[in-house]
């Protein structure tokens, strides 16, 4: 199965199943760089740098394209229409839009982050795969 990994999976303890052909969004790389930069503890920063380095060596991240931007806007509008605040989850929405454009499920540890648009994207908990 092809799937897009959410950042929550990249920083989680469980690896994706062997049968998953995994991809990531460039947005996850941005989130991981941010995590390195805000780490207050040297040991935690070193751990985050090592994780980021391994991820960058493993994946060729999918870019933000015009198609992703279009779907991102559609998802943010849907969140707004449904009473949510899309500004709180902009990066999650960008990752979800990437999965939708690629036509693959989004594997995440935070399915609840996508509940408001559950009918628009295929978000699955990693542990359910």
Full-model pTM: 0.94
Bridge partners for 23 per DSSP: 4
Rounded to whole angstroms, how far apart are CA atoms 76 and 93? 7
Residue-wise pLDDT for 19-75, tens only, equals 999 999 999 999 999 999 999 999 999 999 999 999 999 999 999 999 999 999 999
Q: In the numeric block, which tokens belong to residue 80? A: 């707004």
Residue-wise pLDDT for 89-99, tens only, equals 999 999 999 99
Which residues touch 96 (CB under 8 Å, ≥6 apart)? Answer: 75, 106, 114, 117, 121, 123
């Amino acid at each position: 199965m092809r799937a897009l990994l959410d950042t929550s999976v990249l920083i989680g303890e469980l690896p994706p199943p062997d049968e998953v052909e995994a991809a990531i969004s460039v947005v996850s790389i941005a989130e991981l760089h941010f995590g390195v930069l805000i780490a207050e503890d040297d040991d935690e920063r070193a751990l985050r740098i090592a994780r980021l380095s391994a991820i960058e060596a493993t994946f060729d991240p999918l870019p933000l394209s015009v198609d992703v931007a279009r779907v991102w806007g559609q998802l943010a509008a849907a969140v707004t229409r449904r009473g949510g605040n899309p500004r709180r989850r902009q990066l999650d929405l960008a990752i979800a839009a990437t999965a939708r454009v690629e036509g693959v499920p989004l594997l995440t540890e935070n399915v609840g982050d996508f509940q408001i648009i559950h009918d628009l994207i295929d978000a699955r908990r990693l542990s359910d795969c």
